Structure 1
Amino acid sequence: MAKVTFKNSPVTLVGKEVVVGSKAPDFSVLANDLSPVTLQDSAGKIRLISVVPSLDTGVCSTQTNKFNEEAASLGEDVAILTVSMDLPFAQKRWCGANAADAIQTLSDHRDAAFGEAYGVLMQELRLLARSVFVVDKNDVVTYVEYVGEGTDHPNYEKALEAVKALTN
């Protein structure tokens, strides 16, 4: 299992660690309008799944804005999903305030189904650990980053390179 800290304190990740080459686990989360969303709702696309503890923090906001800004250059075959424990209403407000219209923010607050399926649910905090997953059109995981310290940034360049490698 990935070793993760949050503000330099070790946390326990609940669920199974996702590895490159595995089939992407399905999940059920909520869109900003409270409708259910699963992995299969973006079937046939390359998915960049950006996971953040809360959009209302500096690093999470920067991470989400970064992937939103890069979305146009990635093309129509790429879906960028940002998953957090934030309520759908808070996610919608954040998207409006940040002009984030090229990504889809999804809430795992109800069941923590995504967090458990991807091994990113921090037991002690009931937040999701910062991570990035790239899933190809056939639902195979091609890139995984569990960020070691929850207040650090992910490796944006490597994640974007993993997506671009699938678009060629």
Structure 2
Amino acid sequence: MKQVKFKGSPITLEGNTLNVGDKLTDFTVTTNDLGEFSLKDTKGIRVFLTVPSIDTPVCDMEVKRFNKEVDSLNGVTCYTISMDLPFAQARWCGLEGVEKVKTLSDYKNKSFSQATGTYAKELGLLTRASFVVDSNNTVTFVEYLDEITSEPSYDKIFEAAKEAK
């Protein structure tokens, strides 16, 4: 099992950690209107971001940055997944004007976190990680941040999304 840190304290990640070249396996998460959403509901180049809670300062900044930049990625779709309840995600997106990044919740089945090794056991939340997945469901970029409270490598993620086929 992979370990990361939260404010310097060790955190164990549960699930199947991904590497570049791995296939993203199917998952089921919950949409803001309580519907089910899975890998088969996506297509093309996708960026999947996992965050501890969308309504915290670093997560807020990260999702707003992707919402602002996703149009420059030419057809790339961006999803942010957290353990936040769908109602809270919908409220936050409405208040913050986030319309281009799709927020999804893993609160019910922990299916996405198991497929990506992003469940932070001691916190009961997801770690901060980023995955770029090509049109064949192959992972072309992976970043698990060593410190959950750090920001992701935006430019590396954007570049990987632009290069994916």
Question: Shared fold by TM > 0.5?
Answer: yes
Q: Is 1:59 aligned with 2:63? A: no
Q: Is 1:104 aligned with 2:102? A: yes
Letter in 1 for 2:60: S
Q: Identify the residue that residue 48 of structure 1 maps to in structure 2.
A: 47
How many angstroms does 1:3 deviate by? 3.0
Structure 1: gaps (5+ residues): none
The normalised TM-score by structure 2 is 0.97
Letter in 2 for 1:135: V
Letter in 2 for 1:104: K
What is the distance in 2 between the residues matched to 1:132 and 1:3?
A: 16
Letter in 1 for 2:88: A
Q: Identify the residue that residue 17 of structure 2 maps to in structure 1.
A: 17
What is the distance in 2 between the residues matched to 1:49 and 1:12?
A: 20
Structure 2: gaps (5+ residues): none
Structure 1 stretches of 4+ moved >4 Å: none
Q: Is 1:72 aligned with 2:71? A: yes
Contact 1:84/1:127 (<8 A) preserved: yes
Q: Identify the residue that residue 136 of structure 1 maps to in structure 2.
A: 134
Contact 2:2/2:12 (<8 A) preserved: no
What is the distance in 1 between the residues matched to 2:143 and 2:26?
A: 18
SS state at 2:135 partner: coil
SS state at 2:47 partner: strand
The alignment's C-alpha RMSD in Å is 1.0
- Alignment: residue pair count: 165
The normalised TM-score by structure 1 is 0.95
How many angstroms does 1:5 deviate by? 0.6
Letter in 2 for 1:102: K
What is the distance in 2 between the residues matched to 1:111 and 1:143?
A: 25
What is the distance in 2 between the residues matched to 1:96 and 1:16?
A: 33
What is the distance in 1 between the residues matched to 2:64 and 2:127?
A: 18
What is the distance in 2 between the residues matched to 1:97 and 1:49?
A: 22
Identity of aligned residues (%): 47
Contact 2:83/2:126 (<8 A) preserved: yes
TM alignment of 1:75-86, pairs within 5 A: 75=74, 77-86=75-84
